[in-house]
Amino acid sequence: MYTLPLNQTLPNWYLDPIFGESVPEPQDFLGQPLLILIFSLGCPGCLGRAIPFANRVAYEKGDRLRVLGIHTNFEGVDFSEDQFQKAKEEFYIRFPFYKDQNFNTTFLDYMAGGTPHWILVDEEGKVVYSIFGSDPNNALLRLDLRMEELLQGRGIETKN
Protein backbone atom coordinates (compact mmCIF):
# COMPACT_ATOMS: atom_id res chain seq x y z
CA MET A 1 0.00 0.00 0.00
CA TYR A 2 1.25 3.47 -0.84
CA THR A 3 1.32 6.14 1.81
CA LEU A 4 2.60 9.66 2.25
CA PRO A 5 6.37 9.78 2.73
CA LEU A 6 7.26 10.12 6.39
CA ASN A 7 9.43 12.98 7.66
CA GLN A 8 8.42 15.06 4.64
CA THR A 9 6.37 18.24 4.73
CA LEU A 10 2.63 17.62 4.43
CA PRO A 11 1.54 18.45 0.87
CA ASN A 12 -1.11 21.11 0.34
CA TRP A 13 -4.70 19.99 0.63
CA TYR A 14 -7.54 21.01 -1.66
CA LEU A 15 -10.64 21.62 0.42
CA ASP A 16 -13.93 23.45 0.14
CA PRO A 17 -15.82 24.99 3.05
CA ILE A 18 -19.02 23.35 4.21
CA PHE A 19 -20.50 25.97 6.50
CA GLY A 20 -19.20 29.11 4.78
CA GLU A 21 -16.07 29.38 6.90
CA SER A 22 -12.64 29.96 5.40
CA VAL A 23 -10.48 26.91 4.78
CA PRO A 24 -7.14 26.89 6.62
CA GLU A 25 -3.86 25.99 4.93
CA PRO A 26 -1.44 23.37 6.29
CA GLN A 27 0.99 26.10 7.36
CA ASP A 28 -1.74 27.53 9.63
CA PHE A 29 -1.11 24.53 11.91
CA LEU A 30 2.65 24.96 12.30
CA GLY A 31 3.79 25.09 15.90
CA GLN A 32 1.44 22.38 17.16
CA PRO A 33 0.93 18.74 16.11
CA LEU A 34 -2.05 18.02 13.86
CA LEU A 35 -4.18 14.91 13.47
CA ILE A 36 -6.03 14.69 10.16
CA LEU A 37 -9.01 12.38 9.79
CA ILE A 38 -10.06 11.61 6.23
CA PHE A 39 -13.59 10.29 6.52
CA SER A 40 -16.95 9.91 4.80
CA LEU A 41 -20.49 10.13 6.14
CA GLY A 42 -21.19 7.03 4.03
CA CYS A 43 -18.59 4.97 5.94
CA PRO A 44 -19.87 2.92 8.92
CA GLY A 45 -16.38 2.67 10.47
CA CYS A 46 -16.05 6.44 10.27
CA LEU A 47 -19.37 7.07 11.98
CA GLY A 48 -19.10 4.32 14.58
CA ARG A 49 -15.44 4.51 15.57
CA ALA A 50 -13.33 7.15 13.78
CA ILE A 51 -15.42 10.25 14.49
CA PRO A 52 -15.88 9.31 18.18
CA PHE A 53 -12.12 8.70 18.44
CA ALA A 54 -11.33 12.06 16.81
CA ASN A 55 -13.82 13.74 19.15
CA ARG A 56 -12.06 12.15 22.12
CA VAL A 57 -8.67 13.33 20.85
CA ALA A 58 -10.02 16.87 20.32
CA TYR A 59 -11.47 16.86 23.84
CA GLU A 60 -8.57 15.24 25.71
CA LYS A 61 -5.60 16.56 23.76
CA GLY A 62 -7.03 19.66 22.10
CA ASP A 63 -4.75 22.01 24.01
CA ARG A 64 -1.68 20.13 22.70
CA LEU A 65 -2.74 18.65 19.38
CA ARG A 66 -5.25 19.94 16.84
CA VAL A 67 -7.70 17.80 14.89
CA LEU A 68 -8.91 18.48 11.35
CA GLY A 69 -11.43 16.46 9.37
CA ILE A 70 -11.49 16.06 5.60
CA HIS A 71 -14.75 14.68 4.29
CA THR A 72 -14.04 12.77 1.12
CA ASN A 73 -16.25 10.71 -1.08
CA PHE A 74 -14.38 8.67 -3.62
CA GLU A 75 -17.72 7.18 -4.71
CA GLY A 76 -18.79 10.62 -5.97
CA VAL A 77 -21.96 10.99 -3.89
CA ASP A 78 -22.49 14.57 -2.77
CA PHE A 79 -23.82 15.55 0.64
CA SER A 80 -25.80 18.73 1.30
CA GLU A 81 -24.95 21.33 3.93
CA ASP A 82 -28.06 20.18 5.82
CA GLN A 83 -26.75 16.59 5.89
CA PHE A 84 -23.39 17.80 7.18
CA GLN A 85 -25.08 19.92 9.86
CA LYS A 86 -27.24 16.98 10.94
CA ALA A 87 -24.16 14.73 11.17
CA LYS A 88 -22.26 17.40 13.11
CA GLU A 89 -25.06 17.46 15.67
CA GLU A 90 -25.82 13.73 15.72
CA PHE A 91 -22.19 12.66 16.12
CA TYR A 92 -21.19 15.65 18.29
CA ILE A 93 -18.33 16.50 15.92
CA ARG A 94 -15.98 18.71 17.94
CA PHE A 95 -13.35 19.41 15.32
CA PRO A 96 -13.44 21.51 12.16
CA PHE A 97 -14.01 19.61 8.93
CA TYR A 98 -14.11 20.51 5.26
CA LYS A 99 -15.05 18.87 1.95
CA ASP A 100 -12.42 17.39 -0.30
CA GLN A 101 -12.45 19.19 -3.66
CA ASN A 102 -13.98 17.17 -6.50
CA PHE A 103 -14.95 14.54 -3.93
CA ASN A 104 -11.47 12.96 -3.65
CA THR A 105 -8.59 15.26 -4.70
CA THR A 106 -6.86 15.35 -1.32
CA PHE A 107 -7.80 11.71 -0.64
CA LEU A 108 -5.81 10.72 -3.73
CA ASP A 109 -2.95 13.20 -3.14
CA TYR A 110 -2.55 11.91 0.43
CA MET A 111 -2.62 8.29 -0.79
CA ALA A 112 -5.39 7.34 1.61
CA GLY A 113 -6.13 3.64 1.82
CA GLY A 114 -9.87 4.26 2.15
CA THR A 115 -11.95 5.77 4.91
CA PRO A 116 -11.17 6.39 7.65
CA HIS A 117 -7.55 7.31 7.07
CA TRP A 118 -5.42 9.14 9.62
CA ILE A 119 -2.38 11.37 9.14
CA LEU A 120 -0.35 12.61 12.07
CA VAL A 121 1.77 15.71 11.46
CA ASP A 122 4.36 17.15 13.85
CA GLU A 123 4.61 20.80 14.86
CA GLU A 124 7.01 21.45 11.97
CA GLY A 125 4.43 20.27 9.43
CA LYS A 126 6.12 16.93 8.70
CA VAL A 127 4.17 13.69 8.33
CA VAL A 128 5.12 11.32 11.14
CA TYR A 129 2.43 8.66 10.72
CA SER A 130 -0.23 7.60 8.23
CA ILE A 131 -2.62 4.70 8.77
CA PHE A 132 -5.92 3.41 7.38
CA GLY A 133 -8.65 1.97 9.57
CA SER A 134 -10.73 2.27 12.70
CA ASP A 135 -10.20 -1.05 14.48
CA PRO A 136 -9.67 -0.14 18.15
CA ASN A 137 -7.15 -2.96 18.62
CA ASN A 138 -5.13 -2.06 15.54
CA ALA A 139 -5.26 1.33 13.78
CA LEU A 140 -6.66 3.36 16.69
CA LEU A 141 -4.35 1.76 19.24
CA ARG A 142 -1.31 2.38 17.04
CA LEU A 143 -2.42 5.93 16.33
CA ASP A 144 -2.96 6.65 20.02
CA LEU A 145 0.53 5.38 20.82
CA ARG A 146 2.08 7.51 18.06
CA MET A 147 0.27 10.61 19.30
CA GLU A 148 1.55 10.03 22.84
CA GLU A 149 5.09 9.44 21.58
CA LEU A 150 4.90 12.65 19.55
CA LEU A 151 3.56 14.68 22.46
CA GLN A 152 6.01 13.24 25.00
CA GLY A 153 8.97 13.38 22.61
CA ARG A 154 8.44 17.08 22.06
CA GLY A 155 8.34 17.86 25.76
CA ILE A 156 4.61 18.48 25.69
CA GLU A 157 3.19 17.37 29.01
CA THR A 158 0.51 14.71 28.75
CA LYS A 159 -2.44 14.02 31.03
CA ASN A 160 -3.08 10.61 32.58
Confidence of residue 85 (pLDDT cuts 50, 70, 90): very high
In terms of Cβ atoms closer than 10 Å to its own Cβ (0-12, 13-18, 19+), residue 52 is: middle
Mean pLDDT of 118-133: 97
**Mean pLDDT, rounded, of the chain:** 92
Whole-structure pTM over 0.85, yes or no? yes
- pLDDT at site 156: 56
- pLDDT at site 154: 65
pLDDT higher for 156 or 57?
57
The per-residue pLDDT for range 26-44, each reduced to its tens digit, is 999 999 999 999 999 999 9
Burial 5-43 (b: 16+ CB within 10 A, else e): eeeeebeebbbeebeeeeeeebeebeeebbbbbbbbbeb
Q: Give SS3 for 132.
A: strand
- pLDDT at site 63: 94
Angle at 12 between CA 65 and CA 78, to 5 degrees: 90
Res 98 pLDDT > 60: yes
Confidence of residue 61 (pLDDT cuts 50, 70, 90): very high
Domains and CATH numbers, the chain: 15-153 (3.40.30.10)
Res 159 pLDDT > 70: no
